[in-house]
Amino acid sequence: MKLVGIIGASGYTGYELIKILLKHKEVELKVLNSQSYAGQTVKSLYLDFNNDGLKFTNYSIDEINNMQLDCIFLALPHTKATEIVPKLKCKKIIDLSADYRFKKVEKYEEVYKVKHLDKEGNKKAVYGLPELSEKQKIKIKKAKLVANPGCYATSCILAALPIQKLAKYIVFDCKSGWSGAGKESAYAKNPDVIKDNLIAYNLTKHRHKYEIGQFIKKKISFTPHVIDTFQGMMCTAHILLKKSIEKEKIIELYKKQYENQPFIKIIEEKIPDIKAVQKTNYCLIGGFEIDENNQLVIVAVIDNLIKGASGQAVQNMNLMFGFKEEEGLV
């Protein structure tokens, strides 16, 4: 049994981590740190939680280090992980923020407008998207520090990865549930902002665009939108192809790319929708239509809190410890 903990346990992703880890057969949850809610029960914050007694904690870093945990999940705001990771004495660390997602520190500093405080740690961090390749899975298995991908980045990369070599240009049009903005967002504090509404933001320079660009090596455009639902995400990828290719061959490319990936499903008979993946760690990819301009349209759907955050973090943990990849997630 591996001992695990969460720092930043009271946010939406922290809460999803709690629920997943409590049903995981191979781990014991020892730390649920939250500065704001320490000593309060999880149920007092999340009324749907089915454990009346479990409480948030606020252990110091020294206390956590003395517990000799096997794995720590960091579900903190961006820029906070680089302050904490160098102080943690833990076998495995999974960071759900953006702090270690960029291979080049200079790019992170440019995109996030802050100084990176752990350049040495960044050199060792592994990007935690297992479906990138079998080589990436091996890197994750060996890693001490994994950078969990962003939710938009996850859906866009998975949507375009198999076809990018045949593409001239890719436009990602994405819609997300408002939970992705976090508990302190206007959507959480005032539901009327998003009720019966759809909001576009960061039209050309969202941070995830540059994260996507590390793996999709084509000219890309990316625009995110918030929709009137709590969780779920759809990426519609408009891919201008270099040359004509039959739909069946494109589907074959996707099936081959993801044939050994338990959480990717290729959908041929219908267009995937958000309801099909809510509260799961699956990514459904479909569409596969080509118009008269030789533009391919691919639709990928995920749950932004699960495959886009907490579920993927546990998937990475499973790989890091040699557990079954689906443990706790199906």
Residues 68-86 have pLDDT tens digits of 999 999 999 999 999 999 9
Share of the chain above pLDDT 70, in %: 100
Do the beta carbons of residue 274 and residue 233 sit within 8 Å?
yes
Domains of the chain: 2-149+308-321 (3.40.50.720), 151-304 (3.30.360.10)
Catalytic residues: 151
Do the beta carbons of residue 240 and residue 187 sit within 8 Å?
no
Q: What is the pLDDT of residues 168-179, one digit of tens each?
A: 999 999 999 999
Mean pLDDT, the chain, integer: 97
The sign of the torsion formed by the CA atoms of 74, 79, 85, 88 equals negative
Q: What is the pLDDT of residues 219-251, one digit of tens each?
A: 999 999 999 999 999 999 999 999 999 999 999
The sign of the torsion formed by the CA atoms of 250, 253, 257, 262 equals positive
Q: Give the chain's radius of gyration (CA, Å).
A: 19
E-state strands within the chain: 2-7, 27-33, 71-74, 92-95, 126-127, 145-147, 167-177, 198-200, 219-227, 233-241, 264-266, 283-290, 295-302
pTM over 0.75: yes
